[in-house]
Amino acid sequence: MDNVTVFTHPLIQHKISILRDKRTGTNEFRALIEEIAMLMGFEALRDLPLQDVEVETPIETCMTPMIAGKKMAIVPILRAGLGMVNGILALVPSAKVGHIGLYRDEVTHEPHEYYCKLPSPIEQRTIVVTDPMVATGGSAVEAINFIKQYGGKHIKFMCIIAAPEGLKKLQEAHPDIQIYVGHLDRGLNENAYICPGLGDAGDRIFGTK
Ligand SMILES: O=P(O)(O)OC[C@H]1O[C@H](OP(=O)(O)OP(=O)(O)O)[C@H](O)[C@@H]1O
Ligand SMILES: O=c1cc[nH]c(=O)[nH]1
Ligand SMILES: [Mg+2]
């Protein structure tokens, strides 16, 4: 599983446990999703390229490393992936943000696309796709299919909770991408919800239902 990182950091695990609690309200839920995305992003972006630039300190002039170029795109899968965007923007404020709209059919659990807008030149950007949940994996696989069709090449995928079957499907469909998972859960129930999971991430972030 070389291309998969499952986080073990206690801060991430602690915050995920609060997310799971059905008594956690919308305000706190939204803030935690953002914080976890930032903590995960810190690790997921550790391979951003650096270049030395000249800086004059109060003492002397030196060559010192800064992120090379500003070509990054964050691409949330709507709606729930939106909740993770600000956490990553806090790390890389200059990143551009694309959007992919997908919803999962409640009966078939198949993903349906309703929107796609990506920043150009997408092929030159490091792309971080966000969605808190990977259940069957259908939405993640489809979103990355779109990004690749539009020319995206350097793709990282971040989710907060994944089911093993969805993660396997994503890895098999897109072995070339880096995948970051906050916690790997037990599996899916008969409605393709993650167990124990946290319920419907989109509804809990936006207070719908
Ligand atoms: O792995 P899958 O089986 O495809 O399920 C995961 C998808 O389901 C949820 O979105 P949902 O369809 O509920 O849309 P929403 O974000 O608008 O609530 C979630 O945010 C993922 O996108
Ligand atoms: O458990 C699940 C499965 C799909 N989407 C969610 O938001 N939660
Ligand atoms: Mg939802």
Residue nearest to atom 18 of ligand 1 (CA): 202
ipTM of this model? 0.97
Average model confidence (pLDDT) across the chain: 96
Nearest Cα residue to atom 3 of ligand 1: 136
pLDDT in tens, 120-169: 999 999 999 999 999 999 999 999 999 999 999 999 999 999 999 999 99
The CATH code for residues 4-47+71-206 is 3.40.50.2020
Distance CA(48)–CA(15), nearest Å, equals 26
Q: What ligand 2 atom has the least distance to the C-alpha of 197?
A: 1
Per domain, the residue ranges of the chain are 4-47+71-206
Cβ–Cβ < 8 Å for 155, 129 = yes
User: What positions carry a catalytic annotation?
Assistant: 104, 108, 200, 203
